[in-house]
């Protein structure tokens, strides 16, 4: 079967009127043109050009291939021009996936504002407690918080986000303030189940010193809002993102524990399948997302 490249090759011979002219047009040697023509005729099991004449003459089969194939090449070119034009415009459907809590509190308004500013784009926002466990190929952009384990996705930095160990003032009054991460092993803790991570192993660092503590949890949930409510009710210690607990810390509903010890950051990133060749709607949404969280995210204002 001939492909569009074969058809373009034969059209170059027809338009040039000779193998020599076709070779110049294609930027190859005349012998290369002859060899490719022979290969094409062999592949199709048909003679395309009558070489006995003083001037090259297409056989009826050659004429048919040029005529019908030329129409197909024009259709291909028109299709690809339309695709390039479509890709450069802010049109089409944008599929976004994000964590439940962050999506509700910080992303939903950004998505709605972007769509309002770009009315020819349809946006389908999916919120999930395990966004990376979803079928990634279903989405154009995946908003992720924390360390990224998947290497075939491209990360675009959106916003900084620390993680804090917190408890209610009543809990601290009842159990005392822990002096080191090791003290957490004896305290009731609450964990968030997400992305199939080992959620009961908490890591800390202070300078060159590192600690990892296996906490004991009688309460766990896959919804961050729920474990934050439990913590405010005095049911245990939580390790949560700064974006989630900043308001409660400022209002005194939660108290930060072990402020001298740092836990691993969980920065916000937007994941796409590649960096080059992205449709305009994906590129512009990613840039819009970054701009909405600059110069500082809302949880640091």
Identify whether 67 is part of a domain: yes
Domains contained in the chain, number: 3
**177 and 133 fall within a common domain:** no
The last residue of a domain, from among 61, 88, 115: 88
Q: What domain range includes position 279? A: 92-161+267-300
- For residue 77, the number of C-alpha atoms closer than 13 Å in the C-beta half-sphere is 10
Does the structure show a pLDDT above 50 at 291? yes
271 lies in the same domain as 132: yes
Residue 266: per-residue pLDDT:
93
pTM: 0.69
pLDDT in tens, 243-253: 999 999 999 99
Among 64-73, 86-95, 119-128, 284-293, name the one with the lowest average pLDDT: 86-95
Q: Are residues 142 and 289 in the same domain?
A: yes
Alpha-carbon distance of 117 to 121, in angstroms, equals 9
Mean pLDDT of the chain: 86
Q: Residue 208 falls within a domain, yes or no? A: yes
Regarding whether 110 and 231 lie in a shared domain, the answer is no
Give a yes or no: residue 42 inside a domain: yes
**One domain for residues 147 and 285:** yes
Asked if 153 and 175 sit in the same domain, the reply is: no
Contact partners, residue 237, CB within 8 Å, separation at least 6: 165, 166, 167, 171, 184, 187, 188, 189, 190, 215, 231, 257
User: Which of 97, 98, 94 lies closest to 123, judged by CA?
Assistant: 94
Distance (Å, whole) CA 298 – CA 296 = 7
For residues 143 and 274, membership in a common domain is answered with: yes
Q: 3-class DSSP state for residue 20?
A: helix
Quick one: 167 and 25 in the same domain?
A: no
pLDDT of 153 reads 83
Among 28, 63, 88, residue at a domain's last position: 88
Residues 56, 100, single domain; the answer is: no
Question: 103 exposed, middle or buried (CB, 10 Å; 0-12, 13-18, 19+)?
Answer: buried
Please say which residue of 33, 57, 88 terminates a domain: 88
Say yes or no: 214 and 80 in one domain: no
For residue 275 the two structure tokens come to: 């960096």
Chain segment 214-230, per-residue pLDDT in tens: 999 889 998 899 999 99
Helices (H), the chain: 4-16, 19-26, 30-44, 60-88, 100-102, 108-117, 169-175, 224-232, 242-251, 280-292
* Residues 140, 71 share a domain: no
CATH number at residue 15: 1.10.10.10
Could you tell me if residue 151 is inside a domain?
A: yes
Q: Are residues 60 and 38 in the same domain?
A: yes
User: What's 263's DSSP letter?
Assistant: P
Tell me, what CATH number does 234's domain have? Answer: 3.40.190.10
- Read off the pLDDT of residues 2-33 as tens digits, 9 standing for 90 and up: 567 778 888 888 877 778 888 887 788 888 88
Query: Is the pLDDT confidence value at 87 over 80?
Result: no
Residue 262 domain flag: no
What integer pLDDT is reported at residue 1 of this predicted model? 47
**Which is nearest to 156 in space by CA: 246, 280, 284, 296?**
284
């Amino acid at each position: 079967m001939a492909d569009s490249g074969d058809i373009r090759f034969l059209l170059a011979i027809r338009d040039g009127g000779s193998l020599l002219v076709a070779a110049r047009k294609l930027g190859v040697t005349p012998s290369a043109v002859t060899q490719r023509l022979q290969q094409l005729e062999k592949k199709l099991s048909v003679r395309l050009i009558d070489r006995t004449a003083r001037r090259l003459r297409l056989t009826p089969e050659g004429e048919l291939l040029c005529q019908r194939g030329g129409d197909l090449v024009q259709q291909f070119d028109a299709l690809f021009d339309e695709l390039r034009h479509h890709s450069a415009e802010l049109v089409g459907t944008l599929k976004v996936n994000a964590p439940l809590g962050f999506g509700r509190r910080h992303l939903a308004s950004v998505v709605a504002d972007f769509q309002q500013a770009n009315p020819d784009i349809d946006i389908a926002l999916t919120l999930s407690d395990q966004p990376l466990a979803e079928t990634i190929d279903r989405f154009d952009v995946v908003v992720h918080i924390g360390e990224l384990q998947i290497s075939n996705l491209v990360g675009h930095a959106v916003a900084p986000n620390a993680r804090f160990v917190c408890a209610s003032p009543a809990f601290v009054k009842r159990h005392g303030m822990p002096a080191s991460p090791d003290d957490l092993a004896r305290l009731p803790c609450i964990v968030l189940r997400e992305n199939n991570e080992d959620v009961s192993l908490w890591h800390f660092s202070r300078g060159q010193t590192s600690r990892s503590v296996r906490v004991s949890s009688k309460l766990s949930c896959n919804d961050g809002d729920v474990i934050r409510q439990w913590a405010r009710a005095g049911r245990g210690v939580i390790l949560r993102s700064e974006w989630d607990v900043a308001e409660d810390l400022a209002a005194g509903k939660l108290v930060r524990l072990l402020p001298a010890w740092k836990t691993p950051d969980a920065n916000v990133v937007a994941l796409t399948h590649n960096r080059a060749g992205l449709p305009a709607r994906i590129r512009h949404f990613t840039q819009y997302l970054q701009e909405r969280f600059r110069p500082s995210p809302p949880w640091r204002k």
